[in-house]
Chain A
Amino acid sequence: MRTNLLTTRVLRVGHAEQDVVFRATGEVDLNTGAELDAELAELAAQPGVTGVVCDLTGVGFFGSVGLTVLLAACDRGRFVVVAGPGTAAHRTLQVSGVLEALPVVDTVADGLLALAR
């Protein structure tokens, strides 16, 4: 089900093989979790996408359903989450303990650097 609760955008997709930035804004909850999962799966399956920097800085609410989505995305390939301290996603990652299980950085620049390493 598509809702107006979550908006996503893919940046820096060119023709060459490269890492892309996936930016989500809005709310990740029981209504939008499946939508986020489907979009990340679709992105990972695109030819030429070598890695994904998932920017959750603009997500104002991040429920536990999002944790499953991020862990699944991490299993699909090279994946870094941008969720600095103070963001909703950071709090949920921290409280659940998933912060230690995923590569989480503070900025998109750090995310791209992490993938380049």
Chain B
Amino acid sequence: MIDAHTPDAEHPGTGGVAGADPAAGDPRVLVVTVPADSTRLPALRRRLGRWLDGRGVTGPLRDDVVLAADEAVANSVEHGYRERLGGLVGVTVTVLEESVTLVVVDHGAWKPPAPDREDARGWGLRMVAALAERLDVVHANGRTTVTAHFRRDAGCRG
């Protein structure tokens, strides 16, 4: 089975958080691999929401992270794997004292973003960018990695 979020030197699965190794079963890290299939999105949203609740990430920030995850995975489903069946999307969420990091990885086809297009396809990652404090999208080694950083300081949210 393809592991869609195998960490490597450039793109650690936890978004570069030192000491939080998903393989070690760290309770601060959620690692999920889902088929690139839109029908999996509702269950993923619920699972992620419950998991965040259990780590004290509640209220608007929890909702924002769930929305961002949905948009990023939907983007992989719609763009990365549009012409291929059987693709996988890796989702890693790391909750630390002051931050939440979301990493979504797919091995699909890379399409440069079209920021001018005022349609849903152009909206997904722009939504993630607007929700997060910082967004990095990297295409390398045949995979696309979307990393969104959120601050756990509610006072700083727009």
Q: Which A residues have a C-beta under 8 Å from some C-beta of B? A: 5, 27, 29-31, 33, 61, 63-65, 67-68, 71, 88, 91-92, 94-97
B contact residues, total (Cβ < 8 Å): 25
Q: How far is the CA of A5 from the CA of B70 in the complex (A)?
A: 15
- Within B122-137, the residues touching A (CB, 8 Å) are 123-124, 126-127, 130-131
Decide: A31 and B41 in contact? CB cutoff 8 A.
yes
A50 → chain B, closest Cβ, in Å?
27
Closest to A31 in B: B38
A-facing mask of B64-100, CB < 8 A → 1, else 0?
A: 1011001100100110000000000000000000000
Partner of A95, one of B41, B74, B130: B130
The smallest C-beta distance from A63 to any residue of chain B, in angstroms, reads 6
- What are the 5 tightest A-B residue pairs by CB atom distance, in nearest-first order? A64-B123, A30-B38, A68-B120, A95-B130, A64-B127
Please report the C-alpha to C-alpha distance between residue A63 and residue B123 in the assembled complex, in whole angstroms. 10
**Shortest Cβ distance from A97 into B: residue:** B130
Q: Chain A nearest CB: distance from B148 CB in Å? A: 13
Cβ distance A13 to chain B, nearest Cβ, rounded Å: 29
Which residue of chain B lies nearest to A5 when distances are taken between CB atoms in the complex?
B42
> Is B78 touching A30 in the complex (CB atoms < 8 A)?
yes
Contact check, B131 vs A31: say whether CB atoms are below 8 A apart: no
Cα–Cα distance between A96 and B123 once the two chains are bound (Å): 8
Q: B127: which A residues are within 8 A, CB to CB?
A: 64, 92, 95-96
Q: Which residue of B lies closest to A86 (CB)?
A: B60
* Distance A67 CA – B158 CA, assembled complex (angstroms): 19
Q: Please give me the residue from chain B that is nearest to A69 by CB atom.
A: B120
Of A30, A67, A91, the residue contacting B67 (CB under 8 A) is: A91
Contact A63 B70 (CB under 8 A): yes
Q: A63 — nearest CB in chain B belongs to which residue?
A: B70
User: Which of A31, A64, A68 is B42 in contact with, Cβ under 8 Å?
Assistant: A31
Task: List the A side residues contacting B124 at CB < 8 Å.
Answer: 64
A51 to B78, CA, bound (A): 33
Closest Cβ of chain A: how far from B156's Cβ, in Å?
Answer: 15
Tell me how far the C-beta of B6 lies from the nearest C-beta in chain A, rounded to whole angstroms. 26
